[in-house]
Chains A and B, each alone.
Chain A
């Protein structure tokens, strides 16, 4: 199953967004095929995070549309995005700091909860059964991301790299069809980056999850993704396979040239 052949799961169509008159994203279009790992690259302020925020409904674009699984959205509500299977992690970790690692993972299952208020309040068998099922799913994630030793530790006390993993787990536990990762390897050393890349590849291969990620480290991007979109000042300046993008002169001058 080569992603290049698959149908698009996500299409960004002529999206524009501005803050107080400053254009963050300018008439941006591209599409992401089902099953691929798509990297968004570009200098700081290129509009990458803003784009992710539009994709899962934190921001509403001024114009343009997002097509996710053939459904058209102008502005989607974050809840609706989550319900349709869009998972997300944030640049500066948006974890629930006072809660344990396990509880943080379990919050990812909120929209899958079936048992009602009274079942949970009175600890009825239905709710207990569901709690056990959720617990098992969480344990699987803990095992997969090698987080078991920190199961009962408050997330705020973990190292930054571990927090990034917890956040990935929280998105993953809900079994999203599209996973948006905002700089999942920021602030990590080479070894941690390697580990995180392996997790992302495993998720993509084993679960078939489509991944859109933002990453600055070009080496990581080239090794990880099969599709790269380059942004600069809110415009698209490159779109293709890693090799294609690398040889694109406009990309080199806009991004690769200036950073390295």
Chain B
């Protein structure tokens, strides 16, 4: 039975970030090497700023939502609300706690977001399905309102916006694109590692059991309510950190409207397109979501230059996005990750056909 031990969490073997214990995970190490060494050496500021940083942060946010929606089965359309909590909480910590190091401020922001998520998760003991989804919408609107209406949260700035008072670590300034990229990358890698541990642990199994059939989960001894609340809290922690990074490492200056309902939908689309209940799917979904607009822009400028204005391009983008969502749901409900896995299978089998 030992030869199987390394495949203990066998249901997630599609994840490229899988951390196996026995064999060296070469693809993963290569990926990390590229991300930490090659890209910093080769990548120019445009790539870092406009593509890699938002891609990584959106992946992280997708990961957070996926833990709640993809793994625990609690559909949320309030992801951006919890991102806002993380952003504003981190801002407050940096501003009001002198000398607090940046990583601690990020973790603190995440913890505060987790607390808020926990509170909004409390109704999940009685409220289910669509009804619960509407309570996440309540969180979205309520939180947006809080961060608009109470000037304390944005330090009474007349613009209503927040920007990081300091972005430094051990005396190093992290304001450069490279500095921000490395900050984001490190956060994402660490949190992804924890997420992989979690979904393969007993907690992760309990979450998935609740997703697949919550009455049965209770009967076999899983404390359903507690695990739902835990999923809300952990998910909100991830979203909170992602929100803080979005505000300070990507946008630079943010306000409550940076985290409106459209952001929530965007995160939801990432996990639908990438793959519900898949860690790697978040990265693929986020890549897709952040690259598609750039691609459409290029095509728009190249093929239809002058014929189509920016507004029309945006409408076109919306239509294409919407159709893709429907197409994915119809054709590949398990997302791009399943599509890639199938492709991989076929490639493996390909030489055998001759």
Interface of B is mostly: helix
B5 at the interface (CB under 8 A from A): yes
Asked if B14 is at the interface of the complex by the 8 Å CB criterion, the answer is no
Q: A99-B11, A99-B212 are in contact. Are A78 and B219 (CB under 8 A)?
A: yes
From 71 to 124 in chain A, residues with beta carbon under 8 angstroms from any chain B beta carbon are 78-79, 81-83, 87-88, 90, 94-100, 102-103, 106-111, 113, 115, 117, 120-123
- Counting CB contacts under 8 A, is B155 at the interface? no
The answer to whether A94 touches B221 (Cβ under 8 A) is no
B223 at the interface (CB under 8 A from A): yes
A-facing residues in B1-53 (Cβ within 8 Å):
1, 4-5, 7-11
B220: chain A residues within 8 A (beta carbon): 82, 87-88, 107-108, 110-111, 170-171, 174
B312 within 8 A of A: no
A95 touches B198 (CB 8 A): no
**Which of the segments A31-39, A131-139, A199-207, A215-223 contacts the partner chain?**
A131-139
Which residues of chain B (211-238) have a CB below 8 Å from chain A?
A: 211-213, 215-224, 230
B201 contact set on A, CB distance < 8 A: 120-121, 127, 131
Residues B11 and A103 in contact, CB atoms below 8 Å apart: yes
Are A99's CB and B216's CB within 8 A?
no
Give, as a whole number of angstroms, the nearest-CB distance from B108 to chain A: 17
> Which residues of chain B are near A139, meaning CB under 8 Å?
1
Determine if A56 is an interface residue (Cβ-Cβ < 8 Å): yes
Which B-chain residue is minimally distant from A82 (CB atoms)? B221
Chain A residue with the shortest CB-CB distance to B13: A152
Asked if B202 and A79 make an inter-chain contact with CB atoms under 8 angstroms apart, the answer reads no
Judge whether B198 and A102 touch: CB under 8 Å: no
**Which of the four size classes fits the interface of chain B?**
20 to 34
Measured between alpha carbons, how far is A127 from B8 in the docked complex, in Å?
A: 14
Q: Could you show 20 A-B contacts with beta carbons less than 8 Å apart?
A: A82-B218, A94-B213, A94-B215, A98-B208, A99-B11, A99-B209, A100-B10, A103-B205, A106-B202, A107-B209, A110-B220, A117-B203, A120-B197, A120-B201, A121-B198, A121-B201, A123-B197, A130-B202, A131-B201, A151-B4
Which residues of chain A have a CB within 8 Å of any CB of chain B? 56-58, 78-79, 81-83, 87-88, 90, 94-100, 102-103, 106-111, 113, 115, 117, 120-123, 127, 130-132, 134-135, 139, 151-152, 154, 170-171, 174
For the complex of A and B, list the 9 residue pairs with the smallest distance between their C-beta atoms, beginning with the closest. A82-B221, A111-B221, A94-B216, A96-B212, A120-B201, A152-B10, A78-B218, A123-B197, A110-B222
The chain B residues found within 8 Å of chain A, CB to CB, are 1, 4-5, 7-11, 194, 197-198, 201-203, 205-206, 208-209, 211-213, 215-224, 230, 277
